Amino acid sequence: MKSKKRIFTSSIVGFFLLIVFLLFPGQKQELKETPGELSRVHGELAGRDHCGKCHSAAKEIEPGNCLNCHEELSRRIKAETGFHRDKQENCGVCHPEHNGKNHRLIQWDPADFDHSETGYYLSGAHQRITSCDHCHHGKNSPLRKYTKSFFLKDNRCSACHKDAHRGNQPVCTDCHTTKDWSVDIW
Ligand code: HEC
Ligand code: HEC
Ligand code: HEC
Ligand code: HEC
Ligand code: HEC
Ligand code: HEC
């Protein structure tokens, strides 16, 4: 009588252990160690409550998690535009974390940047512009707390140039190129 009951109890316990195991297959184990402090821009995510904001349960970096916060970037990737249009997979390779507060998440030299990587080709007079800031300035860029963004709110010709035709000729490139404003009609 007694041993039957014990077998019954232990199989119930075993059943629940199995369920627990199936629900949480060893994931708690893997994220136990925190490798190092997060960079300043992600300072709000310090602490164990936030690991899952970037990591998946299986510890990998989940791009979808990053993009939950970085909505503007997410929209660009979906629209297949901008520098990240073909780089949506391995965020952690270019933006590694846990290297301390002062570590810069973006390691690049804007002065040595191939603009065609953005999908927007600088042609004509645009190739001779000496400073990125002539086009990527505060008025046309989204505000960032820590650094400057190279996204543009508006990339149409008329965002940066006076529209000599006051809205009557909306598709500038039907007549103009970036060489100069003269129009070769004949
Ligand atoms: C802001 C996003 C972010 C948060 C929050 C975050 N991590 Fe990470 N973590 C990363 C990135 C990015 C990498 C680098 C991945 C790579 O190199 O591909 C990483 C790597 C790791 C690694 C692997 C390190 C290695 O050397 O292989 C571990 C372990 C880890 N994180 C644990 C944690 C734990 C634990 C927490 C919570 C306390 C946490 N992380 C919070 C972004 C984050
Ligand atoms: C091949 C390297 C590379 C990969 C992969 C990459 N990035 Fe970037 N990221 C950059 C560079 C370079 C910049 C600076 C230029 C720019 O803003 O596009 C940048 C800028 C950013 C910015 C700042 C944009 C702003 O203006 O606010 C965010 C946020 C970002 N990346 C997130 C991500 C996320 C999320 C992923 C994965 C889905 C990712 N990156 C994949 C190289 C990369
Ligand atoms: C003639 C104006 C002009 C100049 C000069 C210029 N850019 Fe751009 N840049 C643009 C436009 C327009 C886009 C496209 C923005 C879009 O598609 O929303 C762009 C896009 C970018 C992007 C991608 C942003 C994204 O959406 O992912 C980066 C990064 C960038 N530029 C960096 C630079 C750097 C670095 C320099 C200087 C070396 C520079 N640009 C000079 C006009 C310019
Ligand atoms: C909970 C929201 C959140 C999550 C999740 C998150 N970020 Fe961020 N990230 C931010 C904020 C906030 C900033 C600072 C923006 C500013 O300067 O205004 C930032 C800034 C950045 C920057 C720009 C750094 C610079 O120097 O300009 C990069 C790159 C970046 N994050 C990449 C990532 C990647 C990759 C992941 C996923 C591993 C990720 N972020 C996850 C909120 C988040
Ligand atoms: C249907 C053709 C057409 C379209 C479309 C068009 N333009 Fe023009 N634009 C002209 C002509 C023609 C001139 C005079 C050119 C000349 O003097 O050789 C001109 C001249 C200009 C000038 C020089 C004015 C000056 O005072 O020197 C600017 C700047 C200009 N256009 C901007 C734009 C912008 C911005 C757009 C788009 C919003 C646009 N144009 C669309 C035909 C066009
Ligand atoms: C993000 C800003 C930006 C965008 C978008 C842009 N330009 Fe420009 N463009 C500039 C700047 C800055 C110069 C340098 C001269 C100046 O400061 O006005 C310039 C110079 C030019 C010039 C040489 C004549 C001049 O005004 O100095 C032409 C022609 C021109 N752009 C045409 C275009 C056309 C056509 C488009 C759309 C296809 C376009 N631009 C989109 C910023 C921009």
- pLDDT tens-place values along the chain, 186 residues long: 445 556 555 565 554 444 444 444 444 445 566 789 999 999 999 999 999 999 998 889 999 999 999 999 999 999 999 999 999 889 999 999 999 999 999 999 999 999 999 999 999 999 999 999 999 999 999 999 999 999 999 999 999 999 999 999 999 999 999 999 999 876
Question: For ligand 6, is residue 134 a contact (CB within 6 Å)?
Answer: yes
pLDDT for position 5: 59
Q: Is residue 41 a contact partner of residue 103, using CB atoms and an 8 Å limit?
A: no
Q: Is residue 82 a contact partner of residue 118, using CB atoms and an 8 Å limit?
A: yes
pLDDT for position 11: 62
Question: For ligand 3, is residue 78 a contact (CB within 6 Å)?
Answer: no
- Of 50, 55, 8, residue with least CA distance to 27: 55
pLDDT for position 158: 96
Phi, psi of 37 (to 5 degrees): -70, 150
Nearest CA to ligand 6 atom 28: 178
89 C-alpha to center of ligand 2: Å?
A: 11
Q: How many CB atoms are located within 10 Å of the residue 168 CB?
A: 7
Question: For ligand 3, is residue 87 a contact (CB within 6 Å)?
Answer: no
Residue 9 CA to residue 130 CA, distance in Å, equals 78
Residues 6+ apart with CB under 8 A from 164: 181
Kindly state the tokens that stand for 130. Answer: 């000496």
